[in-house]
Amino acid sequence: MDAFKYEMKRLVNDLKITTDYAEEKIENIEAHVEVLLQNSKEIQDSFSVVDLRTQNLEKASKNVEEHVNVVLTHSSEIHEHIKSIAASQKELSDEHAPMKMNLVEGMEILQASYRSLGKYMNELKSEVEEITKEIGKVGKK
């Protein structure tokens, strides 16, 4: 009977050690998640700045185009040159839209991954709490 009691205490102690280890790992994962969130926010902030600068550049380009159109009335050669510049600006603007869409999609994927990781962390935490409760019950017996 003493051997059984000793073995049971040893198993409970092993479970306690395993639970402590799992809790430590969860805390480490949570710390990594916080770092990832901060990095994601910084990236998102950077993209917002880039987007704002692009919009300002687009507005400035439109203003320049209006002034150039006044000059175009004086020279057909300048007019052909300005048409080429306008085509390049449109191409840049057209390329910006898919890049922005890809960025938004990437951020949505990142946010979905974070939510999924959070859900997994909560489930894992609940399991650890249940195991801890069971260990407590077994330890009291």
Q: Look at residue 23 in the predicted model and tell me its pLDDT.
A: 95
The residues, ordered by sequence, that sit 6+ positions from 33 with a Cβ below 8 Å of its Cβ are 114, 117, 118, 121
- Taking the C-alpha atoms of residue 85 and residue 70, their distance in angstroms, rounded to an integer, is 15
Q: Look at residue 136 in the predicted model and tell me its pLDDT.
A: 77
Q: Look at residue 27 in the predicted model and tell me its pLDDT.
A: 94
- For the chain, how many structural domains are there in total? 1
Q: Look at residue 93 in the predicted model and tell me its pLDDT.
A: 81
Domain CATH number, residue 65: 1.10.287
- Taking the C-alpha atoms of residue 19 and residue 9, their distance in angstroms, rounded to an integer, is 15
Q: Look at residue 78 in the predicted model and tell me its pLDDT.
A: 61
Domain of 39 in residue numbering reads as 2-140
Q: What is the pLDDT along the chain (141 residues), one digit of tens a residue?
A: 788 899 999 999 999 999 999 999 999 999 999 999 999 999 899 989 988 998 998 899 888 888 766 666 677 776 676 788 888 888 878 888 888 888 888 889 889 887 887 888 888 888 888 888 877 777 676
- CA angle, corner 111, sides to 109 and 117, nearest 5? 100
23 sits in which H/E element: helix 2-72
Asked if residues 69 and 82 have their Cβ atoms less than 8 Å apart, the reply is: yes
